[in-house]
Amino acid sequence: MASKQAFEHVDTWVFDLDNTLYPSRSRLFDQIDVRMGTFIADLLDIDRVEARKIQKQFFYQHGTTLRGLMLEHNVKPDDFLGFVHDIDHSVLLSNPDLDAAISRLPGRKLIFTSGTVAHAERVMQEIGITHHFEEIFDIKAADYVPKPQRPTYEAFLSHTGVAANRSAMFEDIVRNLEVPHDMGMTTVLVHDNDNEDAAMINKLNDDTGNTEHVHHVTDDLAGFLSKIVPA
């Protein structure tokens, strides 16, 4: 349960983007999912069923589908990222409750995403929260090495100057909180029953969220943040 006392030490708030700052039921990531399948099917000249199998296998094994394509098929990352993020962001709804809750958080706010800066900017614009965030650390800044690889978190901390023991990390995938926990961050799992990719990863890793590296769990990010710093 969220409480002001549990976050009194926090001066930096780090948020994952997709399926964390917006709910899975918006189906935004479904568009990306479809375009990843199309990219793989065209690249390898295979049908969509086989393409989806490869897509999810790479996501599980390498952290992102892109990483698998880079390592196993020498795909240029900009080609892939430009294609899969060519989607309709307008399906996202403005979220004034989240806007208000984030505005009350003391200190720095940053985005740490396996997507791109351009995609993150579109998402934040649609939700109405862009003005809160000072920086976006994206997959390019991470040299295309995704979470949950430890060097990626180390690069994030080094690049942003964030002190792990004074920060909180919000994520939708359990395994992506293990390294932040080990580094001293306060960890929050943003759980959504409609989040199929997170459910798949969590099931394959036997992650339920009831682990020592998950300090808090919520299915309502705006409500959770509002309990930390009430209006």
Same domain, yes or no, for 77 and 107? Answer: no
Query: CA angle at residue 141 from 198 to 79, to 5 degrees?
Result: 75
The pLDDT assigned to 229 comes to 87
d(CA 156, CA 151): 9
Rg value, the chain, Cα: 17
Which range marks the domain in which residue 69 is found? 28-84
The pLDDT assigned to 227 comes to 93
Same domain, yes or no, for 40 and 79? Answer: yes
The pLDDT assigned to 60 comes to 84
Return the SS3 of 99: helix
Same domain, yes or no, for 49 and 134? Answer: no
Which is nearest to 16 in space by CA: 187, 201, 150? 187
Same domain, yes or no, for 103 and 68? Answer: no
Same domain, yes or no, for 136 and 159? Answer: yes
Q: What is the pLDDT of residues 31-53, one digit of tens each?
A: 999 999 999 999 999 999 999 99
CATH number of the domain at 9, please. 3.40.50.1000
The pLDDT assigned to 145 comes to 94
d(CA 219, CA 204): 21
Low-confidence ranges of the chain (pLDDT < 50): none
Return the SS3 of 137: strand
Query: CA angle at residue 84 from 83 to 88, to 5 degrees?
Result: 105
The pLDDT assigned to 67 comes to 94
Same domain, yes or no, for 111 and 170? Answer: yes
The pLDDT assigned to 1 comes to 59
* Helix H or strand E segment including 56: helix 48-62
Tokens for 32, please give them.
Answer: 């990306």
Bond into 148 cis (ω within 30): yes
Same domain, yes or no, for 156 and 173? Answer: yes
Q: What is the pLDDT of residues 84-93, one digit of tens each?
A: 999 999 999 9
| Neighbour-count burial of 161, counting CB atoms closer than 10 A to its CB (0-12 exposed, 13-18 middle, 19+ buried) | exposed
Same domain, yes or no, for 74 and 155? Answer: no
The pLDDT assigned to 208 comes to 56
Tokens for 85, please give them.
Answer: 């993020």
The pLDDT assigned to 29 comes to 86
Determine contact, residues 138/113, Cβ cutoff 8 Å: yes
d(CA 220, CA 131): 21
The pLDDT assigned to 50 comes to 96
Same domain, yes or no, for 33 and 14? Answer: no
Same domain, yes or no, for 71 and 93? Answer: no
